Every structure is written in structure tokens, then in C-alpha cells.
Amino acid sequence: MKDDSQLRNELINYLNGSFTHKNIFDAAMGIPDNLINSKPDNVPYSFWQLLEHIRISQLDMIDFIRNSDYKELEWPKDYWPAPDKNATKSMWDDSLSQIKRDLKSLENIIKNPETNLLAPIPHGKGQTIFKEVLQVVDHLAYHTGILILMRRALNNWTD
């Protein structure tokens, strides 16, 4: 592909939630401190545990792209905080900040003209950066929807 700048820009727009109903930061904005450790009925995790799962999973996918010595995490143990772990407001803010930093890191990978989005990742099993970016976008969109549904269940969402 001679000029893939449009493809790169489209990926970045989706990564940043530009074409989605709400991005993760919109969905998380305004959750009161007293709800971050709440679990709506029939939901096995709290708001913070979900946010932390997003952060861990996203970082893992980015690590897979960047790190030739990548070590696969154990599912589901390594992808979620302990079920009984609660967060402070600072931990909530740190999770959001890290998600934002990691998205920026992935954006920089995409923007780099030296990055071949369609080449197999050398230490992978046929995965490409393009596929990994789509996986990050899909994962983020899915869990953003879950976060909004959790807020609706606790009457903490207006649209």
C-alpha cells in the first residue's frame, strides 16, 4: 500500500472513539466516588474492576505489539483485579490516566510511517498490528457499553 495515511487516520479516529456513541472517558466521567466499588445486581465486578480490566487488557495487547519478549498473561487471573479488591479515588484516576497514556502510545505506533500495519508481528502467530489495533478498539467499545449499562442499572447515567 503506497499511501496508507487514510487507513492510519481512520484507525486513530476509531481508537479515540471519534466515531462511537461514547468513548471510555465519556462513559467514566461523573461516576461518583461512592460508586467506583459498587457492583450492580447480577454483575460480577465493580466499576473500577471493569476499568482496571480494560487497562490491563489494553496494555497487554500493546505489549504484544512492542515486545519481542512478550509473555502471555494467564486468562482470566491476570486480566482482572482480585474480585474482593476495592479502589480508592486515586486508583480510579490512575487507571483512567494509564488507559489514556496507553491509547496515545498505540496512536504513536499507528502514526509512525515505519510501522507496517499489515505485516505479521515477528514473535506472533500471524497477528498484525492492524488486527491488534482492531482488537483494542473492539474490546474498548464492548466494555464502554458495559460500563454505561452498569451506570444505567444504578440510575447514574443520563444521555
pLDDT digits 0-9 by tens, 87-133: 999 999 999 999 999 999 999 999 999 999 999 999 999 999 999 99
Note the pTM of the prediction, 2 decimals. Answer: 0.95
List domains and CATH numbers for the chain. Answer: 5-153 (1.20.120.450)
- The mean pLDDT of 55-70, rounded to a whole number, is 98
Nearest to 147 by CA among 138, 156, 134: 156
**Averaged confidence pLDDT in the chain:** 95
The pLDDT tens digits of the residues spanning 27-53 come to 999 999 999 999 999 999 999 999 999
